[in-house]
Amino acid sequence: MQRITKNPISLLPALVLWVSLSLFSACQPEQPSREPEVLPADHYFTLQLAGQPIAVQLALTEGEQTRGLMHRPSLQANHGMLFVFPETDRRAFWMRNTSIPLDLAYIDPTGRVLEVHALFPYDERAVPSRSSNVSLVLEMARGWFKKNQLGPGDQINCLEIQEAIQSRGFDPKNFALTRE
């Protein structure tokens, strides 16, 4: 059996090329990420309801909507949760495992408040909407709507909602909101 040996000098051009390419790629500036930062479900977004700023968490997925404000001991002033649905329908909410007294607003796809209802802690009786044109539901602390003199006919800013949905990494077109 004959042993084949290579002259180490013949490997030099390949080694120089490899080192050059390694250094060149290491010196390139890092490319910025093309993906926008996706904000977590517990992030609060500032929206306007008839000019009144509110901070809301978005409930976009079925799991987030099922959990809602359950098991929370309190809710900060002017804070709440906005449920955004993929289609308009008649809605019904209850207060299973929810100790915070809440007010609930049923809202149409244009952002117009249709009706406001009081919800009672731990009450598992459903509070249905009268309208079948509901695509948004806003939960705020009990008395918030009355204190701020807000109710049916008042408008929430749908463009801000669409931007918030996008910030969460979802496509606003998949939700029943009027595009303005």
pLDDT in tens, the chain (180 residues): 455 555 556 555 555 555 555 555 444 444 444 444 667 778 999 999 999 999 999 999 999 999 999 999 999 999 999 999 999 999 999 999 999 999 999 999 999 999 999 999 999 999 999 999 999 999 999 999 999 999 999 999 999 999 999 999 999 999 999 865
The HSE-up count of residue 10 (CA atoms within 13 Å, CB side) is 3
Residue type at 130 in one-letter notation: R
Question: Model pTM?
Answer: 0.79
Q: Which fold has domain 45-174?
A: Jelly Rolls (2.60.120)
Q: Residue ranges per domain, the chain?
A: 45-174
Whether 71 contacts 97, CB under 8 Å: yes
